[in-house]
Amino acid sequence: MEDLSFVPELPSGPLDVYRNNASFNWKRLKLALEGDFDLLKLKYKIWRTLEKDPLFAHSPITLPVEEQKRITQLQLKKINEYKFIPKEMFNASYSKRTRTIMTINEAVQSLNPSVSVKMAIGIYLFSNALLSLGTERHLKFYEATIKHREILASFSLTEIAHGSDARLMRTTATYDPSTREFVVHTPDFEAAKCWVGNLGRTCTHTLLFAQLITPDGTNHGLHGFVVPIRKPDTLETYPGLIVGDMGEKIGVNGIDNGFIMFNQYRIPRENLLNRTADVTEDGTYESSFSEPSRILGAALENLSAGRIGIMQESCHSLSSAVTIAVRYAATRTQFGERDRETPLIEYELHQWRLFGYVSAAIVFRLYIDLFAHTYLNIVEKSNAGHRVDNLSEAVSEIHAMVSSSKPLLTWTTLRAAQQCREACGGHGYLKCANLGDIRSNHEPTVTYEGDNNVLSQQAGNWLLRQYEAAIAGKPVDSPLGTVAFLKDLRTIKDRTFTCKTTKELKDPQFIISTYKWLLCWMLKYTHEKNEANLSQGLTKVQARTKSQVYRWKTLTKVYAEYITLVFCLDNIDKKERELQPMMLKLFCLYGLWSLDENLVELYQGGFAKGEECARLVRDSVLELCGEVKNEIVSVADALAPTDFVLNSVLAKSDGKLYQNLQKAFFSHPGVFERTPWWRDVVPASKL
């Protein structure tokens, strides 16, 4: 057994009564959820280090946005100096190296999400893009960014009037052979690049996506360019640029999101990222698809890595939110009989409000652990030039998985943060409860790196293609096996609900098999609507647009629930035997709690008839809530970061709720002082 003594013991206190009832060791669960001993150790090392550093101390009040940006920048520099990436990592495998970077990002994100975004965009996204889109001549930028940390970069894609639809971006880069330069230009404010993290105040360079136009006037579409923005030593912007900060946002105000307009701004020809295409000195456009497999691998990485990172961070936000609400529920009493008050966690309604989200946190972490592993192995093989069977099909399937599960994970986390706040009542509304900040900082994930609704449509496209193959009797393209079951389409769709007891439902096989039926039916239902639309003369785009609600959108959500369940189940099988019974209970809870949201489809599609199905699914959910009650505080302990990182007055691991609240209240700056503006309060003199 690994030595987990680096994970601090939990102080004894009011939570013991529940902790003592758990069937498992919470530290073993923590390790199982992290999936890697070294990475767990690294995470705790980072948290210990930053806890000792005054620069990372929490402020009891929200600082002015400019001050948040300054501190975020200082924290980023400090993290660079700490060199948390072990030296040997630079020679480790791609997969190991990437997981290490992701772990550092997660550890930092749970403390200050702005720092991790700043780092992810300004260093990793930029340098990865240089590797995958650029060539030898861009290595100098790469080294200056990741090795010397002299460049802090940004990523300019979105325009004021165009977000999701990248095709219609209007910023141009026109080649001028007379000076061998590209002339970058923004036609008007609507084409200003915006939402560019790090651009508002700090970055020195940006990775710009603009329409490449050759001297003959041909538009060759969006291409990437490295564009200098500020002098690295004085941070003054260059002439020809209008660069500004976008001002205050709902959250992540440590990030300086900026906008930029280019006025015939010239950059060297060499700044075009020219792996897939180049412009010769005289202005001829040359496309070079010489290494298709490597390009595919690179494309895969660029598309999905950021979204996988978002899902991992979501899992952490979800874990923090449920930890706060569970610990509060176990220590807060309200009502009761004969003047013995009852802890909130004993109420069935309170269990139902929270435990589904706790189970989601476990299922999501086990899903993302296995999925990231699978994904990184494929990229690694492809990057190393090894043959990957069905690479292009795998890329498509991975894209569908990411495009459906990023919405599921980020939306579930957003709902969870809200439910947890409400479950902590008024005290949950205090800033020092931290649920507000967790929520506000998490919120943009449902919009950025692909708006959830737009992403879902892309997953749906892939799913319908597979379904159409299956009904035509052709094999499906599913190297990762997520829709392999479509070969049994005919037998699956004949299934009906025949259970008589909740015991039959609280079984992973029932859940998986019901999801397969549900997917087959949703595919049929969506496909038929789409075909009906087409046969009415609608264009392909119109037909799809008119079959989103209740069809496409539901389909991709059901698919996401299914793949998280399947990957989670596979992963449980790899974990310690002692943990498995509890994990399987939480698996069933999440599965049935999710199926509950799909009951209408089960009835509509004829899987269920009569009252049993709805009643048994819901009774099972409530029974499972009761069954996991004694595990749930220890599950939260395993999900939780350290008290310093969790930063919630309601949920310190000592469980001393009211002592901690009193300390927080009594130590607010000026709490007992007469307010300095008291003269503004007393009634104006009547003289």
Q: Which of 43, 118, 201, 527 binds a copy of itself (CB under 8 A)?
A: 201
Exactly one of 397, 449, 601, 631 is catalytic; name it. 449
Residue 244, annotated as binding a ligand: no
Does position 682 interact with a copy of itself (CB under 8 A)? The reply is yes
CB of 252 to a copy of itself, least distance (A): 9
CB of 271 to a copy of itself, least distance (A): 22
Instruction: Rank residues 384 and 600 by Cβ distance to a copy of itself and give the closer one.
Output: 600
Instruction: Rank residues 373 and 524 by Cβ distance to a copy of itself and give the closer one.
Output: 524
CA distance 475 to 466: 8
Strand partners, 262: 241
**Per-residue binder mask for a copy of itself (CB under 8 A), 275-314, x = binder:** ----------------------------------------
CB of 642 to a copy of itself, least distance (A): 23
Residue 158, annotated as binding a ligand: yes
Q: Which of residues 536-555 bind a copy of itself (CB under 8 A)?
A: 539, 541-542, 545-546, 548-550, 553
> Rounded to whole angstroms, what are the CA distances from 112 to 143, 319, 411?
26, 15, 21
CA distance 293 to 341: 65
Q: Which of residues 588-627 bind a copy of itself (CB under 8 A)?
A: 599-601, 603-606, 608-611, 614-615, 618, 622
Asked whether 158 and 194 are in contact (CB, 8 A), the reply is yes
Q: Which of 83, 289, 290, 335 binds a copy of itself (CB under 8 A)?
A: 335
Supply 570's token pair: 């596979």
Specify the residue for token string 């900026």.
Answer: 258
Asked whether 313 and 116 are in contact (CB, 8 A), the reply is yes
Instruction: Rank residues 152 and 267 by Cβ distance to a copy of itself and give the closer one.
Output: 152
CA distance 548 to 565: 24
> Rounded to whole angstroms, what are the CA distances from 138 to 97, 141, 151, 285?
22, 6, 13, 19
Instruction: Rank residues 243 and 651 by Cβ distance to a copy of itself and give the closer one.
Output: 243
Asked whether 497 and 511 are in contact (CB, 8 A), the reply is no
Of 449, 431, 427, nearest in space to 440 by CA: 431
68: left (phi over 0), alpha (psi -120 to 50) or beta: alpha
Strand partners, 96: none
Q: Find the part of the chain contacting a copy of itself (CB under 8 A) among 65-73, 133-141, 292-300, 504-512.
A: 65-73
Q: Which of residues 424-463 bind a copy of itself (CB under 8 A)?
A: 425-426, 428-432, 435-436, 440, 443-444, 446-448, 451-453
CB of 61 to a copy of itself, least distance (A): 5
Q: Which of residues 486-525 bind a copy of itself (CB under 8 A)?
A: none
Q: Find the part of the chain contacting a copy of itself (CB under 8 A) among 103-111, 344-352, 396-404, 465-473.
A: 344-352
CB of 545 to a copy of itself, least distance (A): 6
Supply 218's token pair: 């041909």
Does position 163 interact with a copy of itself (CB under 8 A)? The reply is yes
**Per-residue binder mask for a copy of itself (CB under 8 A), 3-42, x = binder:** ----------------------------------------
Supply 418's token pair: 């809200």
Instruction: Rank residues 131 and 160 by Cβ distance to a copy of itself and give the closer one.
Output: 160
Specify the residue for token string 């199926």.
Answer: 595
Q: Find the part of the chain contacting a copy of itself (CB under 8 A) among 39-47, 131-139, 316-324, 657-665.
A: 657-665
Does position 240 interact with a copy of itself (CB under 8 A)? The reply is no
Supply 655's token pair: 């469980």
Q: Which of 16, 282, 341, 531 binds a copy of itself (CB under 8 A)?
A: 341
CB-based burial label for 475 (10 Å; 0-12, 13-18, 19+): exposed
CB-based burial label for 303 (10 Å; 0-12, 13-18, 19+): middle
Instruction: Rank residues 426 and 473 by Cβ distance to a copy of itself and give the closer one.
Output: 426
Instruction: Rank residues 215 and 436 by Cβ distance to a copy of itself and give the closer one.
Output: 436
Specify the residue for token string 């669960």.
Answer: 29
Q: Find the part of the chain contacting a copy of itself (CB under 8 A) among 22-30, 314-322, 511-519, 667-675.
A: 667-675
Instruction: Rank residues 198 and 478 by Cβ distance to a copy of itself and give the closer one.
Output: 198
CB of 681 to a copy of itself, least distance (A): 5
Specify the residue for token string 């189970």.
Answer: 359
Q: Which of 473, 577, 680, 687 binds a copy of itself (CB under 8 A)?
A: 680
CA distance 448 to 443: 9
Q: Is 576 a catalytic residue?
A: no
CB of 196 to a copy of itself, least distance (A): 11
Instruction: Rank residues 472 and 541 by Cβ distance to a copy of itself and give the closer one.
Output: 541
CA distance 586 to 363: 8
Does position 189 interact with a copy of itself (CB under 8 A)? The reply is yes
Q: Which of 77, 386, 503, 574 binds a copy of itself (CB under 8 A)?
A: 77
Does position 82 interact with a copy of itself (CB under 8 A)? The reply is no
Cα-based torsion angle of the residue sequence 70, 75, 76, 82 in order, rounded to the nearest 10 degrees: 150
Q: Which of residues 362-421 bind a copy of itself (CB under 8 A)?
A: 414, 418, 421
Let me know the angle formed at the C-alpha of 515 by 512 and 519, rounded to the nearest 5 degrees.
140
Q: Find the part of the chain contacting a copy of itself (CB under 8 A) among 112-120, 302-310, 504-512, 673-681.
A: 673-681
Amino acid at 234: T
Q: HSE (CB half, 13 Å, CA atoms) of 322? A: 31
Q: Which of residues 246-275 bind a copy of itself (CB under 8 A)?
A: 246-251, 256, 259
Q: Of how many residues is the chain composed?
A: 687
Say how many residues touch a copy of itself, by CB under 8 A.
125
Q: Which of residues 133-162 bind a copy of itself (CB under 8 A)?
A: 148-150, 152, 158, 160-162
Residues near 402 by beta carbon (within 8 Å), at least 6 away in sequence: 303, 304, 307, 308, 311, 455
CA distance 85 to 423: 39
Q: Look at the alpha carbons of 447, 524, 471, 512 in this order and tell me if their dihedral is positive or negative.
A: positive
Strand partners, 259: 244
Asked whether 522 and 607 are in contact (CB, 8 A), the reply is no
Instruction: Rank residues 150 and 282 by Cβ distance to a copy of itself and give the closer one.
Output: 150
Asked whether 462 and 399 are in contact (CB, 8 A), the reply is yes
Consecutive H or E run containing 340? strand 340-343
Residues noted as catalytic: 449
Annotated binding site for FAD: 158, 197
